[in-house]
Amino acid sequence: MKGQEKPFQQRADQKEIFNRIFCEHKFRVYNTVYRMVGGEDAQDLTQEIFIKAYLNLKKFRGDARLETWIYSITVNVCRDYLRRKSKTPGTVPYQEGKVAPGQGNPVAEYLDRRLIQEETQEVLLQLSPPLQEVLILRELQGLSYREIAAVAGIPEGTVKSRLIRARRAFKESCEERGLLG
Amino acid sequence: MKGCEKIRDEILLHLDAQMPGVVQKHLDECHECSAFLKEMKKARGLLQDLEPLAPPPGLQDKIMRKVEKMEERNFCNRLKDKLITPWQVRPAILVAMSLVLVFVIGGVFYLWQPFPERKEDMLMQDVFRAETLPMERQDPRAPDTYEGMELKVAERRIIYNAMLELEVSDADKLQGQVIEYITVAGGFVAETRRWVSPGGEVSIRMVLRLPVVGFEDALGELAGLGEVVDQSIQGRDITREYQDLEARIGNKKQQEQRYLEILQEAKNVEEILKVERELERIRVEIESMEGTLRYYQDRSDFATITLTMKEPQVVIVGGELFEAIREAFKGSVHLLFTITGWILPYAAILMVILLITAVFKSFKTKK
């Protein structure tokens, strides 16, 4: 990971630099977004995030790591999205857990796995946004506490306490759905 | 199990790392807590099993396209901002308005003439007509040739015509004085015309008639009323024409007399009618000639003075400078009109193109 990106001034360079940034970060961003908001709008939001990044490229000063910067844009865009979405409730359908243990059959196992994946995603989506984002950044993106603090704009202590609450809430949700059975 | 709650937070925090010694010790002792850890690990396993997803393949192109479009729009926006942001629009409007103002003022200034210049003048026309009466042009040698007439100098007939233009401070007041003076001198005002210029300055033109005897005195007197701007005096000697006319009238009268005698001797109605016709013709001629004679008499008895009194124009102090500025302004306004005339069609075309692109752009971006 290149830590020290210089401020970008040249407009001609800008597009190329952006292209590089996109290629480097598209998996991170897309996955984070996907886990935070679900598959439905992940693509649109990813686009929104990168365009925001492009527009603010000039403002990026290299005093933070580029990765952290992109993550914070991601988090902010997702927060806005979730806030908007929470005002129109009922968009995330709650599904009764119906996971049966694998039968040894590869197809059934595959289907099981898909189902479990979907259920896990559902659980994530149902977590409250502050907990969810900490959990995703930590468990899926592997960020350090300090990085999460920088990305989410909260103190490290808050990151830790949120992480604890998030893990507990996640486990309980999984239990309810019988995912841990 | 009171202590377990606290320990569990620690367990949760260190789920993905080495458990601290104290926690590890507790886990070894507490069954429930180690079961909790097991469940937690299982749950965490679910999360970590989540498969990484590849972003849709078209996403990159889509974003790059959008970025490029925004780049274009950015340019347009910057242009639009330049033109339309309220703070920047105000000076633009001001400039436009002042331009229009300059045009209007310039146009008015350009078209406006300080005085409705009238040709010198209907008032003079009768005089000119008198001069161009269908008569023999005066022979310049005439007075010399008829030496005998030198004795009758007093009877010389001369038409005096003077034109006097004055600059005065108060034309209306002086008008009264002039009328008074002329009346005393035995003359009269034949015509008066008064007009006010856009600047409020009054101008008065009077045609004065007065006995020839007082002509020169009157001119001196009138010239004293203000500053003389323009002055001309014409004298036209019509002695010869006058005497000619007198002689011809005498002849005709003799003819008339003869016809009257013939009429007396007329024997029948036919003859009477014939003679009377002739008589009538000759009388008409005589009357006509006598009219001309009377006109000459009048003209030569009474001199004509055309007096114009003008109040000075406001800027008259720097008259020449003002005139120069006005000329320059006229010139530049003219140039401005010309240039605008040239630019206008192109500007219109440009505007239409800009408008179309703007509309097109907004339409596209909305999509």
Strand order in the sheet with B227-237: B188-196, B202-211, B302-310, B158-167, B227-237
pLDDT of residue B151: 40
Name every chain A residue with its beta carbon within 8 A of the beta carbon of B62.
47
pLDDT tops 80 at residue B3: no
Which of B9, B47, B68 has its CB closest to that of A139? B47
Q: Which of A154, B9, B97 is nearest to A146 (CA)?
A: A154
Give the SS3 label for residue B194: strand
Q: Which range is least confidently modeled, A95-109, A166-180, B249-263, B346-360? A: A95-109
In chain B, % of residues over pLDDT 90? 2
CA distances from B26 to A160, A168, B3, B16, B17 (A): 21, 19, 10, 18, 16
At A27-68, the pLDDT tens digits run: 889 999 998 888 888 888 999 998 888 888 877 766 677 888
Q: Which of B277, B274, B282 is nearest to B257 (CA)?
A: B282
Give the SS3 label for residue B209: strand
| Residue-wise burial string across B258-278, b where 16 or more C-beta atoms lie within 10 A, e elsewhere | ebeeeeeeeeeeeeeeebeeb
Name every chain A residue with its beta carbon within 8 A of the beta carbon of B55.
26-27, 29-30, 43, 46
Q: Please indicate whether, in this complex, the C-beta atoms of B43 and A171 are within 8 angstroms of each other.
A: yes
pLDDT of residue B121: 45
Average pLDDT over all residues of chain B: 78
Q: Which two tokens stand for residue A111?
A: 């289907």
Rounded Cα–Cα distance for residues A22 and A15 (Å): 10
Q: Please indicate whether, in this complex, the C-beta atoms of A163 and B12 are within 8 angstroms of each other.
A: yes
Confidence of residue B82 (pLDDT cuts 50, 70, 90): low
Which of B15, B55, B66 has its CB closest to that of A27? B55
At B278-319, the pLDDT tens digits run: 889 989 999 999 998 888 888 888 889 999 988 887 655 556
pLDDT tops 50 at residue A158: yes
CA nearest to B62 within chain A: A47
pLDDT of residue A103: 55
Compare B200 and B362 and report the one with higher pLDDT: B200
CB proximity B45 to A under 8 Å? no
Q: Please indicate whether, in this complex, the C-beta atoms of B39 and A26 are within 8 angstroms of each other.
A: no
Name every chain B residue with its beta carbon within 8 A of the beta carbon of A27.
52, 54-55
Domains present along chain A, CATH in parentheses: 1-91 (1.10.1740.10), 100-181 (1.10.10.10)
Which of B16, B42, B70 has its CB closest to that of A180? B42
pLDDT of residue B184: 86
Query: Do residues B229 and B166 touch, judged by C-beta distance below 8 A?
Result: yes
Q: Which of B302, B167, B157 is nearest to B237 (CA)?
A: B157
Q: What is the DSSP string of B103-170?
A: HHHHHHHHH--SS----S-HHHHHHHHHHTSSSPPPPTTHHHH-GGGGGGGGG--EEEEEEEEEE-S-
pLDDT tops 70 at residue B164: yes
Q: Please indicate whether, in this complex, the C-beta atoms of B12 and A30 are within 8 angstroms of each other.
A: no
Name every chain B residue with its beta carbon within 8 A of the beta carbon of A169.
none
Q: Which range is least confidently modeled, B140-154, B200-214, B263-277? A: B140-154
Q: Please indicate whether, in this complex, the C-beta atoms of A174 and B46 are within 8 angstroms of each other.
A: yes
Q: Which of A140, A150, A118, A174 is nearest to B16 (CA)?
A: A140
pLDDT of residue B133: 44
Average pLDDT over residues A68-84: 89
Q: Please indicate whether, in this complex, the C-beta atoms of B16 and A47 are within 8 angstroms of each other.
A: no
Name every chain A residue with its beta carbon within 8 A of the beta carbon of B70.
51, 54-55
pLDDT tops 60 at residue B175: yes
Q: Please indicate whether, in this complex, the C-beta atoms of A179 and B43 are within 8 angstroms of each other.
A: yes
Q: Which position has the token pair 């034949």?
A: B190
pLDDT of residue B266: 80
pLDDT of residue A163: 92
Average pLDDT over residues A174-179: 85
Residue of B37, B50, B69 best to disrupt the A interface, most CBs of A under 10 A: B50
CB proximity B15 to A under 8 Å? yes
pLDDT of residue B86: 53
List, as ranges, residues 66-105 from A with C-beta within 8 Å of B. none
CB proximity A34 to B under 8 Å? yes
Domain ranges of chain B: 2-44, 59-114+313-367, 156-311
Q: Please indicate whether, in this complex, the C-beta atoms of B40 and A167 are within 8 angstroms of each other.
A: yes
Q: Please indicate whether, in this complex, the C-beta atoms of A47 and B66 are within 8 angstroms of each other.
A: yes
Name every chain A residue with its beta carbon within 8 A of the beta carbon of B13.
160, 163-164
pLDDT of residue A162: 92
Residue of B4, B12, B51 best to disrupt the A interface, most CBs of A under 10 A: B12
Q: Which of B93, B336, B139 is nearest to B238 (CA)?
A: B139
Confidence of residue B74 (pLDDT cuts 50, 70, 90): low
pLDDT of residue A154: 92
pLDDT tops 70 at residue B13: yes
pLDDT of residue B81: 59
Name every chain A residue with its beta carbon within 8 A of the beta carbon of B50.
35, 117, 120-121, 140
pLDDT of residue A15: 77
pLDDT of residue B134: 45
Name every chain B residue with its beta carbon within 8 A of the beta carbon of A30.
53-55, 59
pLDDT tops 80 at residue B93: no
Rounded Cα–Cα distance for residues B183 and B194 (Å): 20
Q: Please enumerate in sequence order all residues whose Cβ is within 8 A of that of B298, keeping only pairs 6 or more positions apart, or say none.
A: none
Compare A17 and A100 and report the one with higher pLDDT: A17
Average pLDDT over residues A101-126: 78
Confidence of residue B54 (pLDDT cuts 50, 70, 90): confident
pLDDT of residue A4: 45
Q: Please indicate whether, in this complex, the C-beta atoms of B49 and A22 are within 8 angstroms of each other.
A: no
In chain B, % of residues over pLDDT 70? 78
User: How many CB atoms within 10 Å of residue B40?
Assistant: 19
Query: Do residues A69 and A57 touch, judged by C-beta distance below 8 A?
Result: no
CA distance A38 to chain B (A): 12
Average pLDDT over residues B330-335: 85
